[in-house]
Chain A
Amino acid sequence: MKILVCISSVPDTTSKINFTADKSAFDKTGIQWVINPWDEFALTKAIKLQESQGATVTVINVGDATTEPVIRKSLAIGANDAIRVNVEPKDSFSVAKEIANVAQNGSYDLILCGRESIDYNGGAVPGMVAQLLNQPFVNACVGLDVNGAEATAIREIEGGKETISVKLPAVIAGQKGMVDEKDLIIPNMRGIMSARSKPLVVVEPASSEVKVEGVSYDSVPQRAAVKMVSADNLDELVRLLHEEAKVI
Chain B
Amino acid sequence: MAIFVYAENINGIYKKAAFEAVSYAKAIADQAGETVTAITVNPTDSSDLLYKYGATNVINIKDEGLKNFSAKSYAKAVNEVVSGNKIVFPHTTDASSIAPMLAIMNGFSLITNVIEVPESLSPFQVKRRAFSGKGFMHAKADAEGVIVTVSQNAYGVKENATSGSEEVKELSVTNEDTKVISHEQSSGKLDLKEAEIVVSAGRGMKGPENWGMIEDLANLLGAATACSKPVSDIGWRPHSEHVGQTGKAISPNLYVAVGISGAIQHLAGVNSSKTIVVINSDPEAPFFKSADYGVVGDAFQIIPALTEKIRALKG
Q: A residues near B, CB below 8 A?
A: 11, 13-17, 19, 26, 37-38, 92-93, 96, 118-128, 130-132, 135-140, 142, 152, 155-167, 170, 176-177, 181-182, 210-220, 223-224, 226-231, 234-235, 237-238, 240-242, 245, 247-248
Interface residue total, chain B, C-beta cutoff 8 A: 99
Q: Is the CB of B189 within 8 A of A159?
A: yes
Interface 9-residue window, one of B28-36, B46-54, B55-63, B306-314: B306-314
Which of B183, B189, B246, B292 touches A38 (beta carbons < 8 Å)? B246
- Contact of A121 with B306 at beta-carbon distance under 8 Å, contacts A137-B72, A238-B313, A248-B221 already known: no
Q: Is the CB of A217 within 8 A of B10?
A: no
- The yes or no answer to B103 lying at the interface (CB within 8 A) is yes
Q: Is the CB of A158 within 8 A of B295?
A: no
Q: Is the CB of B181 within 8 A of A152?
A: yes
- Contact of A241 with B277 at beta-carbon distance under 8 Å, contacts A26-B131, A213-B139, A227-B293 already known: yes
Q: List 13 A-B contacts (CB under 8 A).
A: A15-B134, A93-B104, A120-B137, A123-B100, A128-B110, A130-B72, A158-B92, A161-B184, A165-B181, A167-B177, A211-B108, A211-B141, A238-B313
Minimum distance in angstroms from A5 CB to a CB of chain B:
18
* Distance A13 CA – B26 CA, assembled complex (angstroms): 37
- Contact of A229 with B294 at beta-carbon distance under 8 Å, contacts A215-B125, A248-B221 already known: yes
Q: Is the CB of B182 within 8 A of A162?
A: yes
Q: Is the CB of B130 within 8 A of A120?
A: yes
Q: Nearest CB to that of B230 among chain A residues?
A: A181
Q: Nearest CB to that of B308 among chain A residues?
A: A234
- Contact of A124 with B302 at beta-carbon distance under 8 Å, contacts A13-B265, A157-B94, A212-B139 already known: no
Q: Nearest CB to that of B223 among chain A residues?
A: A248
- The yes or no answer to B81 lying at the interface (CB within 8 A) is no
Q: Is the CB of A228 within 8 A of B264?
A: no
Q: Which residues of A contact B160 (CB under 8 A)?
A: none
- Contact of A160 with B104 at beta-carbon distance under 8 Å, contacts A121-B131, A131-B75, A167-B176 already known: no
Minimum distance in angstroms from B229 CB to a CB of chain A:
8
- Contact of A226 with B294 at beta-carbon distance under 8 Å, contacts A152-B181, A162-B184 already known: yes
- Bitwise, B71-105 to A at CB < 8 A (1) or not (0) is 11001000000000000000111101111110111
Q: Nearest CB to that of A227 among chain B residues?
A: B293
* Distance A200 CA – B189 CA, assembled complex (angstroms): 47
- Bitwise, B274-291 to A at CB < 8 A (1) or not (0) is 111110000000001111
Which of A96, A121, A130, A238 touches B71 (beta carbons < 8 Å)? A130
* Distance A217 CA – B134 CA, assembled complex (angstroms): 11
Q: Is the CB of A228 within 8 A of B197?
A: no
- The yes or no answer to B174 lying at the interface (CB within 8 A) is no
Given A135-B177, A229-B294, A242-B313; 13 other pairs, CB 8 A cutoff? A96-B100, A137-B97, A157-B94, A158-B94, A164-B178, A213-B142, A220-B272, A226-B293, A229-B295, A231-B297, A235-B309, A241-B277, A241-B293
Which of B70, B100, B125, B288 touches A124 (beta carbons < 8 Å)? B100
Q: Which residues of A contact B135 (CB under 8 A)?
A: 17, 19, 26, 217-220
Q: Nearest CB to that of B129 among chain A residues?
A: A121
Q: Is the CB of A247 within 8 A of B254?
A: yes
Q: Is the CB of B181 within 8 A of A226?
A: no
* Distance A223 CA – B137 CA, assembled complex (angstroms): 19
Q: Which residues of B contact A136 (CB under 8 A)?
A: 70-72, 177-178
- Bitwise, B151-180 to A at CB < 8 A (1) or not (0) is 000000000000000000000000011111
Q: Is the CB of B233 within 8 A of A181?
A: yes
* Distance A10 CA – B288 CA, assembled complex (angstroms): 28
Interface 9-residue window, one of B37-45, B201-209, B237-245: B237-245
